[in-house]
Amino acid sequence: MKALEFLKKPGGSENVRVAVVSGAEEYLRAQVVARLLEGFGPEVARDTINGPPAREVGRFDFAGLLDTLRTPSLFGGESVIVLTDADALLGEHAAAFARFLERGETCHRLIVEGNALCAKSAAKSSAKKESLQAAVEAAGGIVVFCDPLYDSPFAGRGPAWQTELTRFLAEQARARGKDLSLEDAYEIQQLVGSNLRELIGEIDKLVTFIGPRKRIEMTDIEEAVGATRTSPAFRLAESIASADLKESLRLSAELFERGAGEQSGGRRVTDDGGIAMMLIGATAQKLRRVGTALDLIARGASFEEAATSVRTHPAFRHQLERQVDAWRERSLAHATFALVELENDLKSAGGPPRELVDRFIVAALGSGAPRRQRRGA
């Protein structure tokens, strides 16, 4: 069962004796475990056991864990044991744990949580993972998969904002009493990335930011989310959108030397690959807005009409106007293609990320970049 399917179901977990919560999306795992515990009721005692890291599996008392699971509570009554971060432990003892479940020896409700405990598809399956899932299901338990949400349209068809991730964000806003369009949810994702915990943090921030107002607008996102992004990555994206080659190369050097600041928790991204991917998301957003404005102007719209259509706040329109002017005679299609090449090179380890970024900047903005093709030319 998928995590979103489980979370949308009202109730249904009160009779669950064994649950495996598996998947790379930590936020969804936490939500599923919380929903399971909520369904068990507050009267059920809870005990959490943290699984060991891989280097310490040999020293972990696995037999003692099984004894704990099979020993009734001293004072009677129900209890639930949550085994967290269980990947390394079950990687070593999956078969023995599956046999334990098949024999029905546990006296407690059991939740096992980890990054990749069960295989969702045959292509990624292994005998150990398949046996664990079969044992859980044979014991009347459930397996909930918490995989990352798709951040691209199904089968690559449809607008970029019609994705599983944007629908989830819109639903989260609705659960908080606010309306958020899929297009605006996509803009939040472009600013923040695809980490659900950080995205939900931004939704919560926006809910507080707009107060009693019902709808979250693009201007709210720019002010409450975009304005807090002090990272050189976003200043670099603005510089690229302004076609300023010299400033873009200077900001690129600053970005990779200092790292990219995150708005939540004061963390900094210092991995070159992570910095480059952050830059790609920010730059794609900026170039897409400039391209849309240029197309509208080419069809006869005024700049003010184009700025309104791409939902640019009046306070930021001078930046958009400068960027539109910068690309009137340049090939935005060439720059976009170069950005796609940068992403492909990063994913295929085509070179050091810093060199690839600078190569993209020169290709997109340098004197050798092609000029813009006029309609009907």
Domain annotation for the chain: domains and CATH numbers: 3-145 (3.40.50.300), 154-227 (1.10.8.60), 229-365 (1.20.272.10)
* Per-residue model confidence (pLDDT) at position 152: 79
The length of the chain is 377
* Residue bearing tokens 């994702």: 189
Given a contact cutoff of 8 angstroms between Cβ atoms, the answer to whether 109 and 73 are in contact is no
* Per-residue model confidence (pLDDT) at position 361: 94
Which residues 6+ apart lie within 8 Å of 270 measured at CB?
A: 259, 260
Enumerate long-range contacts of 67-70, CB under 8 Å, 24 or more apart. Answer: 69/100, 69/105, 69/106, 69/107, 69/108, 69/110, 70/105, 70/106, 70/107
Calpha distance 16→57 (Å, rounded)? 28
pTM of the model: 0.61
* Per-residue model confidence (pLDDT) at position 123: 43
C-alpha dist (Å) from residue 364 to 156, 272, 324: 25, 20, 15
Strands 79-84 and 18-22: unpaired
10 Å CB burial of residue 59 (0-12, 13-18, 19+) is: exposed
Calpha distance 78→65 (Å, rounded)? 18
Calpha distance 102→123 (Å, rounded)? 25
* Per-residue model confidence (pLDDT) at position 20: 93
Calpha distance 343→350 (Å, rounded)? 10
Nearest of 316, 321, 313 to residue 297 by alpha carbon:
321
> What angle is formed at CA 329 by the lines to CA 323 and CA 335, rounded to 5 degrees?
70
Given a contact cutoff of 8 angstroms between Cβ atoms, the answer to whether 312 and 226 are in contact is no
Given a contact cutoff of 8 angstroms between Cβ atoms, the answer to whether 255 and 236 are in contact is yes
* Residue bearing tokens 């398949």: 130
Per-residue pLDDT of the chain (377 residues; tens, 9 = 90+): 899 999 988 776 778 889 999 998 999 999 999 999 988 888 888 899 999 998 899 899 999 999 988 888 777 677 899 999 999 999 899 889 999 988 888 888 899 999 988 866 544 456 666 788 888 888 888 999 999 898 878 766 778 888 999 999 999 999 999 999 999 998 888 777 777 887 898 899 899 888 899 999 988 887 777 655 545 677 888 899 999 999 899 888 888 887 665 544 445 567 788 888 888 888 988 899 899 999 999 999 999 989 888 877 676 678 889 999 999 988 899 999 999 999 999 888 888 999 999 999 999 998 777 766 554 44
Q: Edge to edge, what strands does the sheet with 142-145 contain?
A: 45-50, 79-84, 109-114, 18-22, 142-145
Given a contact cutoff of 8 angstroms between Cβ atoms, the answer to whether 3 and 145 are in contact is yes
* Per-residue model confidence (pLDDT) at position 268: 59
Neighbours of 156 (CB within 10 A): 6
* Per-residue model confidence (pLDDT) at position 236: 87
Calpha distance 324→291 (Å, rounded)? 8
Calpha distance 216→17 (Å, rounded)? 41
* Per-residue model confidence (pLDDT) at position 281: 84
Calpha distance 314→41 (Å, rounded)? 51
* Per-residue model confidence (pLDDT) at position 264: 42
